[in-house]
């Protein structure tokens, strides 16, 4: 190479180095940061005790969204410590243990030496794992942390790790975490993200304010982990998405029932399809329950009075909505039951079976199982058991139920979209409603009412997106890690899409609420003596405080009416207007029958 070319090469290298440094400055963590949505910690006085066995969806919501405090039961701490000791004894007895004296993944047959210093070093790199964007919602990260904390007692873990994990929640040190980079068979990258915070690396939010993780721990009065990292990977991210899906799905379905009742009042509908004796002819219990809810909401309304102008049969979307809503409730209950098992389970690999003996079950005494039997010694304080490999990290059947719920909501939403359109004035006659608003309202009342120019464009656009997001994710099996990791659940993708379906359907219900309340006012103008029953009247009255029936257009907020209605539904639970009604059907749950000798 000539001197000239060499000089150019050096110059180019210097230029590239300068550009690299400039690029690094531009791509600072703050430049990639998402708009963070902090929680309102209005339940700090509530205390949730984690046992590993009885965490509820309501508990998750209280911690994740309202800042409830968390602690472990003494039994849970002891169980994890005993598991830690038994695993250490397994290593001392030269029993092959995945992740302890054997490598991970494709290295599972390679002997290794597990050292705490290596674990801490690995944790310090965790902030570099994951795929953008960052998780923007503090409640989702906190849901992940509390679910992960609840699973630790099933593992081998030390008290320092467990205590710091709950203190992250209690002091609101929320790790910066990345939303992508998991295929659903253990959320490895996300586990790495919060482990990095626990050793003071990467960024975190303290009380909703972003800063370095080390500074966040310092302000909270916490110290980074100094000893080994407890526990392993888990599906806590997917579990958190699913738990919040259950919570939000319930609020959606409660509103769907109440707004359907309001729609029937607005259309002057026939209530005959809801009768209990009709349900007995096709006795699906969840459908019959939803019909009973609607009948109870409508009881005492004018729909049970004779009206010669009431048509014989409503459109199918109005008549059959309770069937689709009852079916959605059924899918919701199945998902709820699966999530409850999932968040109160041990899904780690390997699993510690403390105090299990060869005589407990026939297979435990076979040569294959006896290879993993820990006789007990000084490190386990004489206690025995097994440390064996599992496949408990595969998140089925929960992942199937996530998609089943999405499908059920989409089927319900199809009826909602059509119900809204059946109130339309687009046809030459008011076939289903019997009247048009102009038949009973004065021109001035029409002018001052909250009407939309072309509501069809708005709600059908929302419906089109629901249709797209509700499609099932194609099942995959792609070999990775030398063929060891060769199936994928894609539970993150499925749960994210399901949550989007729920949110979009709540937006669709916002347009349904606009329509229903508009027609309640029309029906009241038609006959002021009409009764709409207690719950529909209460919801209608509350919404009219937000979006008045009669108001000058220039005095109304410059916001889409659909957005006003959506925000009202999000901030105001339907249960605040209707909380009683027939009891929800019992389910058989998802728990297997456990033998009298329960391995710990």
Same domain, 125 and 182: yes
Q: How far apart are CA 296 and CA 172, in angstroms?
A: 43
Choose the weakest-confidence range: 138-142, 309-313, 362-366, 375-379.
Answer: 309-313
| Dihedral sign computed on CA atoms, order 143, 138, 489, 494 | positive
What's residue 491's pLDDT? Answer: 94
Kindly indicate the confidence band of residue 401, based on its pLDDT and cuts at 50, 70 and 90: very high
Rg (CA), the chain: 29
Same domain, 332 and 437: yes
Element (H, E) at 70: strand 69-72
- Are the beta carbons of 509 and 416 closer than 8 angstroms? yes
Choose the weakest-confidence range: 29-33, 179-183, 503-507, 545-549.
Answer: 29-33
pLDDT mean over 5-16 = 42
Residue 458 lies in a domain: yes
The CATH number that applies at residue 425 is 1.20.200.10
Domain count, the chain: 3
Same domain, 183 and 296: no
- Are the beta carbons of 342 and 59 closer than 8 angstroms? no
- Express each pLDDT in 177-186 by its tens digit: 999 988 888 8
Same domain, 53 and 112: yes
Residue 502 lies in a domain: no
Same domain, 272 and 312: yes
Same domain, 416 and 338: yes
Q: How far apart are CA 115 and CA 133, in angstroms?
A: 33
- Express each pLDDT in 524-537 by its tens digit: 999 999 999 999 99
Is pLDDT above 50 for 393?
A: yes
Specify the higher pLDDT residue, 62 or 125. 62
What's residue 165's pLDDT? Answer: 96
What's residue 598's pLDDT? Answer: 45
What's residue 22's pLDDT? Answer: 44
Is pLDDT above 80 for 306?
A: yes
Same domain, 272 and 410: yes
What's residue 528's pLDDT? Answer: 97
Q: What percent of the chain has pLDDT over 90?
A: 74
Nearest in space to 326 (alpha carbons), one of 244, 247, 404, 256: 256
Q: Which domain holds residue 152?
A: 47-234
Residue 295 lies in a domain: yes
Q: Is the pTM of this model over 0.85?
A: yes
Same domain, 187 and 303: no
Chain mean pLDDT for the chain: 90
Same domain, 403 and 516: yes
pLDDT mean over 36-43 = 97
- Are the beta carbons of 180 and 131 closer than 8 angstroms? yes
Kindly indicate the confidence band of residue 26, based on its pLDDT and cuts at 50, 70 and 90: very low
What's residue 6's pLDDT? Answer: 38
Q: Who contacts 264 (Cβ-Cβ below 8 Å, separation ≥6)?
A: 271, 294, 298, 303, 314, 318
What's residue 31's pLDDT? Answer: 63
Is pLDDT above 50 for 23?
A: no
Same domain, 464 and 376: no
Is pLDDT above 50 for 418?
A: yes
Q: Which residues pair with 485 in a beta bridge?
A: 480
Strands 47-50 and 69-72: parallel
Q: Who contacts 274 (Cβ-Cβ below 8 Å, separation ≥6)?
A: 291, 292, 294, 295, 298, 322
Same domain, 137 and 201: yes
């Amino acid at each position: 190479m000539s001197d000239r070319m060499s000089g150019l090469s050096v110059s180019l290298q210097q230029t590239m180095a300068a550009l690299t440094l400039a690029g690094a400055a531009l791509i600072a963590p703050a430049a990639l940061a998402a708009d963070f949505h902090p929680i309102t910690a209005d339940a700090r006085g509530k205390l949730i005790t984690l046992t590993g066995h009885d965490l509820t969806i309501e508990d998750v919501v209280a911690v994740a969204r309202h800042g409830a405090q968390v602690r472990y039961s003494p039994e849970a701490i002891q169980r994890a410590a005993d598991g830690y000791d038994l695993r250490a004894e397994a290593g001392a007895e030269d029993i092959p243990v995945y992740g302890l004296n054997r490598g991970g993944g494709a290295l599972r047959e390679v002997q290794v030496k597990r050292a705490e210093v290596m674990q801490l070093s690995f944790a310090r790199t965790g902030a570099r794992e994951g795929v953008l964007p960052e998780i923007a919602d503090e409640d989702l990260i906190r849901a992940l942390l509390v679910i992960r904390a609840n699973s630790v007692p099933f593992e081998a873990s030390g008290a320092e790790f467990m205590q710091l994990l709950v203190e992250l929640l209690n002091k609101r040190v929320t790790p910066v975490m990345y939303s992508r980079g998991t295929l659903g068979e253990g959320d490895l990258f996300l586990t790495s993200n919060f482990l990095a915070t626990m050793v003071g690396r990467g960024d975190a939010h303290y009380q909703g304010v972003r800063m370095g993780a080390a500074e966040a721990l310092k302000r909270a009065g916490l110290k980074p982990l100094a000893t080994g990292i407890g526990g392993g990977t888990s599906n806590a991210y997917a579990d958190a998405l699913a738990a919040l899906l259950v919570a939000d799905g319930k609020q959606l379905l409660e509103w769907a029932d109440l707004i359907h009742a309001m729609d029937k009042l607005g259309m002057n509908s026939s209530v005959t399809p809801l009768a209990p004796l009709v349900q007995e002819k096709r006795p699906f219990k969840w459908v019959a329950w939803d019909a009973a809810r609607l009948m109870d909401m409508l009881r005492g309304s004018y729909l049970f009075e004779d009206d010669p102008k009431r048509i014989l049969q409503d459109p199918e979307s109005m008549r059959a909505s309770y069937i689709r809503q009852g079916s959605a409730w059924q899918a919701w209950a199945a998902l709820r039951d699966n999530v409850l098992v999932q968040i109160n389970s041990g899904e780690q690999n390997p699993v510690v079976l403390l105090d299990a003996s060869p005589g407990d079950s026939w297979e435990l005494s076979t040569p294959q199982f006896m290879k993993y039997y820990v006789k007990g010694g000084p490190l386990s304080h004489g206690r025995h058991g097994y440390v064996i490999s599992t496949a408990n990290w595969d998140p089925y059947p929960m992942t199937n139920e996530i998609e089943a719920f999405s499908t059920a909501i989409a089927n319900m939403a199809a009826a909602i979209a059509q119900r809204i359109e059946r109130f339309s004035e687009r046809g030459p006659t008011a076939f289903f409603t019997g009247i048009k608003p102009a038949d009973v309202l004065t021109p001035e009342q029409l002018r001052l009412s909250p009407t939309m120019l072309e509501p069809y464009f708005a709600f059908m656009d929302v419906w089109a997106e629901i249709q797209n997001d509700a499609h099932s994710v194609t099942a995959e099996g792609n070999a990775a890690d030398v063929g060891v990791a060769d199936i994928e659940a894609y539970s993150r993708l499925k749960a994210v899409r399901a949550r989007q379906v729920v949110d979009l359907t709540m937006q669709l219900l916002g347009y349904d609420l606009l329509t229903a309340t508009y027609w309640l006012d029309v029906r009241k103008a038609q006959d002021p003596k009409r009764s709409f029953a207690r719950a529909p009247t209460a919801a209608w009255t509350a919404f009219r405080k937000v979006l008045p029936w009669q108001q000058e257009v220039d005095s109304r907020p410059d916001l889409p009416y659909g957005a006003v209605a959506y925000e009202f539904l999000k901030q105001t639970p339907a249960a605040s207007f209707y909380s009683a009604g027939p009891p929800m059907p019992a389910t058989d749950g998802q728990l297997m029958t456990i033998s009298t000798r329960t391995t710990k």
